[in-house]
Amino acid sequence: MLAIADKRLEPIAEKVAAQERLSFDDGLALYGSSDLATIGSLANRVRERINGDKTYYNINLHINPTNTCFMSCKFCAFGRKAFDDASYILTPEEIVDRARKNLPEGASEIHLVGGLDPRLKIEYYCAWLRALKAAFPHIHIKTLTPVEVVFIAKMSKMTIGDTIGALHEAGMDSMPGGGAEIFDPEIRERICEHKCDAAGWFETHREIHRRGMRTNCTMLIGHLEEPRHRVDHLLRLRAHQDEWGNLKPGGEGGGFQCFIPLSFHPKNTAFAHLPGPSGFDELRNIAVSRLLLDNIPHIKAYWIMLGIKQAQIAQHFGADDIDGTVTHEEIYHDAGATTPQGMTVAEIERIVRDCGRTPVLRDSVYNELKTNEVPG
């Protein structure tokens, strides 16, 4: 390893070499340092220890069943009020039809998230889950965030546990990482008041994990949060995983399997005046996440959000996943993302090889799949 420019990082480097857990203060020291080369190389060491030189991706499709949303999160450009001409609610038949038209060959997953509409109760969600499972029995359905689940539970007068039970029975296989934003209550109040709080977010994941299912988790950076809020957020995820994570090989066991650091895109949002995170901060954040989240196996550099070039560099700063073909993305494109709306398998494999990693096609629970029958 190269000499460490920022001497304050030396004790952290020793801990990483000894595979010791990093503390809150270590997290603050990492976020307070501009020695990106050292931070990146420490994270890369951990990444290679856990995942070797593999970069995982999958063949997936995103569908947003509705964009109507009763909330007004300041960072969101996707939600529309029910009276807005651009608002929509897809019927179960339309969701299946969209999947039929857009599902790429070799796809293993559909990722569905949407807005919060008080008119939609548990029956609506179970209806499209059942319709999708009937039409595509072999496709993994990764769907809904705790924010949606807590809202559906309230609107349907059910407990969170019973809501998860009903959704699982109808076809939900796992949950994506959204809705976490920043857990600190003061920041949460300022960026997404009325949204489910950290307790509701964790209760939903706990109900899923204790049923032996997997979820992802996220953190949204580059708005009003400070480094201490980021460290607090990451350590809350780590503590939950200590208690509820039980991941086993072959996709068995529940818990967080992947963390996705999300960068705020300001365009068309109430925070349009903010610049969003710098490229430097994005890379440092990915690396710090890898270093603090010692019990979550995968860190995803979501190429749609980071851009393809930054997602490549991130593969040497702690990330070992790049998401998938995606095919039709709305949340980030409504907020000004300039990335394409999808990539082919051949494109993903090329950009991963180009940064010196080995592309590995995976399913939604990180079983490795063969690529030789998947067309470019």
Give the interface with ligand V47 as residue ranges (CB under 6 A): 75-77, 176-179, 181, 216, 218, 220, 260, 262, 264-265, 269, 302, 323, 331, 335
Query: Which one, 107 or 335, has the nearer CB to ligand V47?
Result: 335
Q: Which residues pair with 143 in a beta bridge?
A: 112
Taking CA atoms, 35 is separated from 7, 141, 222, 294, 366, in Å, by: 10, 40, 19, 21, 32
Give the shortest CB-111-to-ligand V47 separation in angstroms.
6
Give the shortest CB-10-to-ligand V47 separation in angstroms.
34
* Helix H or strand E segment including 354: helix 345-354
Give the shortest CB-259-to-ligand V47 separation in angstroms.
9
The interaxial angle of helices 122-135 and 146-155, nearest 10 deg, is 120
Query: Which one, 9 or 244, has the nearer CB to ligand V47?
Result: 244
Query: Which one, 9 or 223, has the nearer CB to ligand V47?
Result: 223
Query: Which one, 38 or 244, has the nearer CB to ligand V47?
Result: 244
* Sheet containing strand 298-299, strands side by side: 214-221, 255-263, 298-299
Query: Which one, 244 or 264, has the nearer CB to ligand V47?
Result: 264
- Residue, CB closest to ligand V47: 178
Give the shortest CB-28-to-ligand V47 separation in angstroms.
23
Give the shortest CB-281-to-ligand V47 separation in angstroms.
14
DSSP for 266-333? -TTSTTTTS----HHHHHHHHHHHHHH-TT--EEB--HHHH-HHHHHHHTTTT--EEEE------HHH
Query: Which one, 112 or 260, has the nearer CB to ligand V47?
Result: 260
Give the shortest CB-51-to-ligand V47 separation in angstroms.
16
292-303: buried (b, 16+ CB within 10 Å) or exposed (e) per residue? bbbbbbbbbbbb
